[in-house]
Amino acid sequence: MSLQEAEKRALWLREKIVYNSRLYYENDAPEISDYEYDMMFRELQDIEEEFPELKTPDSPTVRVGGKALDRFEKYAHTVRMGSLTDVFSFDELRDFTDRMSAELGADVEYSVEPKIDGLSVSLIYRDGLFVKGATRGDGEIGEDVTENLKTIKSIPLKLKEALPYLCVRGEVYMPKRVFHELNAVREAAGQPLFANPRNAAAGSLRQLDPKVAASRRLEILVFNLQEGELYSDGRTAQFHTESLDRLDELGFTTVSHRIAVVGYDAVSKHIDYLGEHRNELPFDMDGAVVKVNSLAGRMTVGEGTSTPKWAVAYKYPPEEKDTKIVSIDIQVGRTGVLTPTANLDPVRLAGTTVSRATLHNAQFISERDIRIGDTVVVRKAGEIIPEIIRSVPEKRDGSEQPFLMPDICPSCGGRVVRDECGEGAAMRCVNTASPAQTARSITHFASKGAMNIDGLGPQVVELLLENGKIKDIADLYTLRVEDIEDLERMGKKSAENLVNAIEVSKSRGLERLLFALGIRQVGEVAAEEIAGKMRSLDKLYSATFEDFSSIKDIGTITATALVEFFADPTTRALCDRLAFLGVKTEAVGEERGELFAGLTFVLTGTLPTMTRDEASALIKQNGGKVSGSVSKKTSYVVAGEEAGSKLTKAKELGVKIIDEAALLEMMK
C-alpha cells in the first residue's frame, strides 16, 4: 500500500470508527458488530504503525471511548479509566507473554478473568460510605450516575470497614435472564428491542429517573482497585488478586471465575476454559482479560499512550455456523414497516438453538444475494441476536429462489410503499388499520407517556381483540362494563376500573394524543411542541410542510411524516371518530411563547407558591427548556427553600441563581 492509499484509507477508517464509537458509547445503538468494529480499529492501528506520519493527535487509537452526555453532570476521574489492547489470536497472546517475560523474568504470574460486556464505572467511598459513582466516558471525564448506581443491590452503600478513601472500578451489566424478560415486555408493547445486554445495561444506567434504573435489575462486578487504602493498618497489597480478595472482604462482588497462573500455557488453557463455559455464565462476556498479577511488576512495565502495557484483552472470535433458509416471512411492525425474517434449519449457536433471523430489508437481501433455500452463515450479534452474515453461493443446487418484497401488505392487503421518511430501504404498509399493526398500536396508545390508560396492557389488548370487543383505537371509547366483565381474567371490578381509566384519558389533550397516535418520528417532546403551536386537530389537517418545518426542533423528516399522516383518509377518519367520541383534540396547555426561547432552567428546592411541575409548565409555555441537572449550559437556576446540591453546583459554575419572584417577574 502506498502512502497516498494509506492516507485515504486511514481517513475513511477514522470517520467510520468515530461514527460507530459514538453510536456504541453515547447512543447505545450500534449498527455493526463488535467484531467488525474491532477489525476496523486493528486495521487503523496497523496503518499508523506502518506509516507513523499518518497518526494524528485525534486518532481514535489514542482515545478511550465515548464522551459524557450533557444530561448528566460531568465527573473528572482522578485516575484515568483506560481501555485494554485487544489480541485476536493465541499467537498475539504469546507475543504479549514473551514481552512480559523479557522484562520481568521467566516465571511471570498473570490474573486471567472474564471480560464482562457491560458499562465500566468507578465507585468512590469516603469513610466507608458510597459517595460518588461515574461512567468511564472518555477515560478522563465521565458522567455522574451516582443515584442510579445506588439502585444496584450488589453495590455496597457502606463498606464493612470505614476506610478513609477508596476508589474501585467495576462493570455494570444486565443478567442474561433479566435481559430476555425485558425484551419480551418491550416486544409485547411494540417497542424496539435491545440488541444485547450491554446496550440494555448502558441505557438503563443512563435513565434520568432512578426508579426506571432500579426496575432494570442491574448488577456489577468489581475488577480493579483504582486508588485508596485497602487496609486500616497501612498495609498495601502486593498482587492484583490479593486486592480483589480484600475487596470481597469489604463487601464488594468482584469478578468471578478469575485465576492466578504462571506462563503462557496456563493462561491459554484458562482462556479456553472460559470460552467453553461462557454460555453458562449469568453475564455476557466478549473475551478474557490477562493482567500481570504483581503490582510492582506493573510499575516496571509501565503504561502506553492510552492502554497499559501489562495487560491485554483476548477477544473470542464470533461463533459462525452454516444453515439453510427454509422460508422467508414478513413481519408488520406497529408503524407499518415490513421486515423480512428468515426461517432457518435449527442450528445450535452460542449456547442456544437458532431458528429465525431478521433480514432487515430489501437492500440487505440484495447486497448479500440471499435466496430462499440458500445455505447461509449465521452468528449472534453481541452473542445474543441471530444475524445472517452472507450466503454461500457455491453450495447452491439450482432449487434456490430469489426473494422479492411484496407489493401488498401480507396482513391486510393494503398498499405498500417505499419508506422515504428516514428508514432507508424499508417498505411500509400505509394502512394504519392493518391487523398486524393494531395490537401494538393500541398498546402504545394506552401507554404511560401517551394516553396513560391504567390497566390496558398488552395482554388485555389481545383479550379485547380476540373477543371482538375492539377493532381499533377508537373502539376503546365505546366499551361498556357489561361488554367486558365476563371476559376471562376480567370480572366486574376490573371492567369498571378499565372503563373509568379510558374515560379519564379523554381529557389528556392534543399533546398526548399526537404521541399516542404513533406518528413516525414524533416522540413525546415533539408532540408537545407541535400541539403548543398548532393548538387543534383542525389546524393539523390544513398544515403544510412549511408550517410543520417552522416549529422548533421539527426537521424535514418529521415534517414529511406529519404531512403524510394527516393527508391519509384512513387516519383522518380515525381522528374524526376519536373527536366524535369525546376525546379532546385541542391542546390543554397554554400556547407557547418565545420569551424563554434558547434558555435552560433548573428547578431546585421548595418554591413559595408553585410546585416544580407548575413552574416547569410555565417555563415550557414560554418557550424555555427545563433540565434536571446543572451545567455550564444552564441559563438560570430557580432556587427555593432547602435547595440542595444543584444550588451548590450553580454557585461553583457561576450560573445565575433566581427565586420564584424573579422568575414570575421575567414573565411579565
Q: Annotated active-site positions, please?
A: 115
| Helix axis angle, 612-621 to 524-534, nearest 10° | 60
Judge whether 138 and 151 are in contact, CB under 8 Å.
no
Judge whether 603 and 617 are in contact, CB under 8 Å.
no
The alpha carbon torsion through 433, 436, 439, 440 (nearest 10 deg) reads -100
- Alpha-carbon distance values, 464 to 481, 491, 516 (Å): 13, 13, 19
Residue 183, phi then psi, degrees to nearest 5: -65, -35
Residue 13, phi then psi, degrees to nearest 5: -65, -40
SS3 (DSSP) at 356: strand
Angle at 319 between CA 314 and CA 325, to 5 degrees: 160
- Spatial distance between the Cα atoms of 10 and 17, rounded to a whole number of angstroms: 10
DSSP letter for each residue of 588-643: -SPPP-STTTT-EEEEESB-SS--HHHHHHHHHHTT-EEESS--TT--EEEE-BT-
* Residue partners of 426: CB distance under 8 A and separation at least 6: 337, 338, 361, 418, 419
- Spatial distance between the Cα atoms of 186 and 188, rounded to a whole number of angstroms: 5
- Spatial distance between the Cα atoms of 117 and 59, rounded to a whole number of angstroms: 24
Judge whether 148 and 205 are in contact, CB under 8 Å.
yes
- Spatial distance between the Cα atoms of 571 and 522, rounded to a whole number of angstroms: 15
**Surface-to-core class of residue 315, CB atoms within 10 Å of its CB (0-12 exposed, 13-18 middle, 19+ buried):** buried
SS3 (DSSP) at 85: strand
- Alpha-carbon distance values, 444 to 102, 191, 427 (Å): 62, 8, 21
Check residue 467 and report its DSSP letter: T
Half-sphere exposure of 581 (CA within 13 A, CB side): 19
Judge whether 93 and 268 are in contact, CB under 8 Å.
yes
Cross-strand partners of 132: 124
Half-sphere exposure of 279 (CA within 13 A, CB side): 12
CA 50 vs. chain centroid, Å, equals 36
The label of the residue with cell 492516507 reads 7
Judge whether 350 and 140 are in contact, CB under 8 Å.
no
Cross-strand partners of 416: 429
Q: Other C-beta atoms within 10 Å of 413: how many?
A: 12
C-alpha cell at 643: 435547595
- Spatial distance between the Cα atoms of 82 and 305, rounded to a whole number of angstroms: 10
| Helix axis angle, 90-104 to 263-277, nearest 10° | 140
SS3 (DSSP) at 128: coil
Sheet arrangement for strand 129-135:
129-135, 119-126, 165-173, 219-228
Check residue 361 and report its DSSP letter: S
- Spatial distance between the Cα atoms of 394 and 642, rounded to a whole number of angstroms: 73
CA 547 vs. chain centroid, Å, equals 33
What length is written for the chain? 668
